[in-house]
Homo-oligomer: A and B are copies of this chain.
């Protein structure tokens, strides 16, 4: 399927669809929260690398000509006062004229680069994600914990994984932590906060990257009056090639 076909036809998680094209996290907030959100992203570029910001009320993005952010993700989450209130397949009835949408880089983008370098992270359908004990740098009214994604990497490939992803700062960049999960306050790797449990093999090392689910944890912690996000794993598929986010 092409990215445009995924946007109009997909109904489930987007992992593996339109391979080679960048997928993005969505978070749309009311205009009077947009500065805090953009500043939060600037201060926390590893979990919140901004790929595009829309004009207020517009569902259009430079990342995909003709796409409509209200309808072109397979599933959304609607948040009121920091609480999840709905998970619709179409956000149009919830959209507001003052919403500003942020499209945030996703670690799916670096997985093809890892594979090209001979690193095949082992995980189930959806990568495991954990809320850590590290606080992001706050911005205005927004604050919250860093969320990370985990990939189990064979020990002799860890250096390569670090080097390859360091060259993709727009999609989370280098890992934030390698090894002991306790260093991030994660008690039990087998109980991720989002996604599927890890599927490592003996000799694998846990490698943690900052995760684009962080803004959703920030919503829960900071409780803005209203927001719309993608549902976990149900990303916005752009027309931009993964390679565009890879430095030479």
Q: Residues of A at under 8 Å CB distance from B?
A: 34-35, 38-39, 42-43, 50, 53, 162-163, 166-167, 169, 174, 247-248
Contact B166–A169 (Cβ < 8 Å): no
Partner of A39, one of B38, B43, B166, B169: B38
In contact, B247 and A166 (Cβ under 8 angstroms): yes
By a CB distance below 8 angstroms, the chain B residues around A39 are 38, 53
- Tell which of A42, A43, A167 has the most Cβ of chain B within 10 Å: A42
Docked CA distance A139–B134 (Å): 33
Q: Which residues of B contact A167 (CB under 8 A)?
A: 167, 247
Partner of A42, one of B50, B163, B169: B50
Contact A163 B248 (CB under 8 A): yes
- Shortest CB distance A56–B (Å): 9
Q: Which of B38, B42, B166 contacts A248 (CB 8 A)?
A: B166
Q: Cβ of A34: which chain B residues have Cβ within 8 Å of it?
A: 35
Q: Give the Cβ gap from A50 to chain B, nearest Cβ, in Å.
A: 6
Q: Which of B35, B163, B247 contacts A38 (CB 8 A)?
A: B35
A43 to B174, CA, bound (A): 23
Give me 21 A-to-B residue pairs in the complex whose CB atoms sit less than 8 angstroms apart, sorted by A's number.
Answer: A34-B35, A35-B35, A35-B38, A38-B38, A38-B39, A38-B42, A39-B53, A42-B42, A42-B50, A42-B53, A43-B53, A162-B248, A163-B248, A166-B247, A166-B248, A167-B167, A167-B247, A169-B169, A169-B247, A174-B248, A247-B247
